[in-house]
Amino acid sequence: MSSPCIEFRHVSKTFAGAKHIVPALEDVSFVVQPGEFVTIIGPSGSGKSTLFNLCVGLFEPDKGEILIDGERKRNRAGMVGYMPQRDLLLPWRSVLDNVIIPLEIQGIPRKVARQRALEILPHFGLKTFENEYPSALSGGMRQRAALLRTWLMGRSTLLLDEPFGALDALTRKELQNWLLTVWQEFSRTVLFITHDVEEAVYLADRVIVLSPRPGKIKLELTVDLPHPRHQSMTTEPEFGKLVRELLTELGVNT
């Protein structure tokens, strides 16, 4: 059997603030297997973004260890594709030249990089928009472009930090369905942070729930709904049951 894509073993992380020390994560252990779609939900400040920053090696844990593709490496940069919480497109570059940035960083000539991006652009609903500047795009389009840029890092595991958080409800639903389609079509592994309970259930094979700070794993919930998902599933009793379970776990009165 292949190694898990991501494995956290008893990871704790504390930050030193100006006056206080802030324990961000405490004894966090979980595993993500190849091909899974796992969502992470938790209150604001529960260490969700810190989990991702640890994965990509921006910081080291104080305790515990992190394995990527079964390897325990100090230099984890570039092992996974990462879309940070506020991933901005460069306003002075066209869509095409924004999404090829990871390829340029890898030293791929711009012409080759553009060609590669153009081939995949239609899958991201961005065909005919390649020469537009970010300011001309809708919020949903901008997020698609930012996702495509992450995609072009060429990694099989993607970490997406609240990518749809700022979108209106309809655009968000459209992008959820689209993301599930490309996830299946290209067999990637996705770890997805959200603060939206319905989104957490709709997308996932499994939901990881973090407690308020310091973040600990409160619950791992398996979502036994079949793929492909359809918005009509959100009205089924099984879906409602999972959503209520999550809300209760998050301390929201149901």
Ligand X SMILES: Nc1ncnc2c1ncn2[C@@H]1O[C@H](COP(=O)(O)OP(=O)(O)O)[C@@H](O)[C@H]1O
Interface contacts to Mg ion, rule CB under 5 A: 48-49, 85
Comparison of 34 and 45: residue with beta carbon closer to ligand X:
45
Comparison of 213 and 229: residue with beta carbon closer to ligand X:
213
Regarding 48 and contact with ligand X (CB under 6 A), the answer is yes
Instruction: State in angstroms the smallest separation of the CB of 199 from ligand X.
Output: 15
x/- letters, 203..232, toward ligand X (CB under 6 A): ----------x-------------------
Instruction: State in angstroms the smallest separation of the CB of 82 from ligand X.
Output: 14
50 binds, among Mg ion, ligand X, none (CB under 5 to 8 A by kind): ligand X
Regarding 42 and contact with ligand X (CB under 6 A), the answer is yes
| Segment lying near ligand X (by CB under 6 A), choices 40-48, 67-75, 139-147, 221-229 | 40-48
Instruction: State in angstroms the smallest separation of the CB of 46 from Mg ion.
Output: 9
3-state secondary structure the chain: CCCCCEEEEEEEEEEECCCCEEEEEEEEEEEECCCCEEEEECCCCCCHHHHHHHHCCCCCCCEEEEEECCECCCCCCCCCEEECCCCCCCCCCCHHHHHCHHHHHCCCCHHHHHHHHHHHHHHHCCCCCCCCCHHHCCHHHHHHHHHHHHHCCCCCEEEEECCCCCCCHHHHHHHHHHHHHHHHHCCCEEEEECCCHHHHHHHCCEEEEECCCCECEEEEEECCCCCCCCHHHHHCHHHHHHHHHHHHHCCCCC
2 binds, among ligand X, Mg ion, none (CB under 5 to 8 A by kind): none
Using CB under 6 A as the criterion, which residues of the chain lie in contact with ligand X when the complex forms?
A: 15, 17, 22, 24, 42, 44-50, 213
